[in-house]
Structure 1
């Protein structure tokens, strides 16, 4: 993987870099996107990221939004990015918006997933989010931190923004 500084955009601001597809090309709830994000320093030592084609300044906050309702919000440095998804820390998700779903899934490298329906007012987004309650130790080592309980949202149903 090659990290290329983008000095026109970076301007000394910290951010994170997305790994090239195939670096950790795994399948999972991301439904085969093949995108995995790994922080890679630029020449200036800052980081940049590309989530769904959008560059992200680490000083900003990530949000998961349904309609106009924010269902999760966290500082960029608190989220975990992998396979094209943004995983929010459990305490950054609004209380009461997730209901466990019976949909089964086990990722070969992360472990057993728990799908969640996302509830916003009268809207129910079936399997609109998922988490890994007990991440495999090797997955935490591979990602660089324990992301047990972190919640990712289905980008086809929930808007992820900064």
Structure 2
């Protein structure tokens, strides 16, 4: 799978985990130069509290376009620190 935004590859992995239709990429598969930590958080009743990243690519920003679970509940332990995307980030099969 590949994740692209603003004409740049943000992540690539053959080992994503699909949860609720979202591909979660292993942290090592994501290009950290494009990620800026956000102060945003949301709660999921079964996964726990999500933290967010803003994407910054070639001078453009996409606030809170990536999220992850740093301390997921047991039911979501398999996606701990894995990163998913939305808000215009194209995630597709390579």
Instruction: Establish whether TM, by shorter chain, passes 0.5.
Output: yes
Determine the structure 1 residue equivalent to 2:81. Answer: 149
Q: Residues 138 and 82 from structure 1, CA distance in 2 versus in 1: closer, same or farther, beyond 3 angstroms?
A: closer
Q: Pairwise mapping of residues 1-16 of structure 1 onto structure 2 (< 5 A)?
A: none
In 1, the alpha carbon distance for the partners of 2:58 and 2:7 equals 11
Aligned residue pairs, count: 93
In structure 1, which of residues 117, 129, 143 is the aligned counterpart of residue 66 of structure 2?
129
Determine the structure 2 residue equivalent to 1:72. Answer: 11
TM-score, length-normalised on structure 1?
0.55
* Deviation digits for residues 69-100 of structure 1 (CA, Å, limit 9, x no counterpart): 1000001xx10111121100000000211111
> Over the residues paired in the alignment, what is the CA RMSD in angstroms?
1.1
* Deviation digits for residues 29-85 of structure 1 (CA, Å, limit 9, x no counterpart): xxxxxxxxxxxxxxxxxxxxxxxxxxxxxxxxx00001321000001xx10111121
TM-score, length-normalised on structure 2?
0.91
Structure 1 runs of 4+ with >2 Å offset: none
Q: Higher strand fraction: Structure 1 or Structure 2?
A: 2
Larger Rg belongs to:
1
Determine the structure 2 residue equivalent to 1:83. Answer: 20
Larger RCO of the pair (alpha carbons < 8 Å, separation 6+): 2
Q: Pairwise mapping of residues 111-130 of structure 1 onto structure 2 (< 5 A)?
A: 111-130=48-67
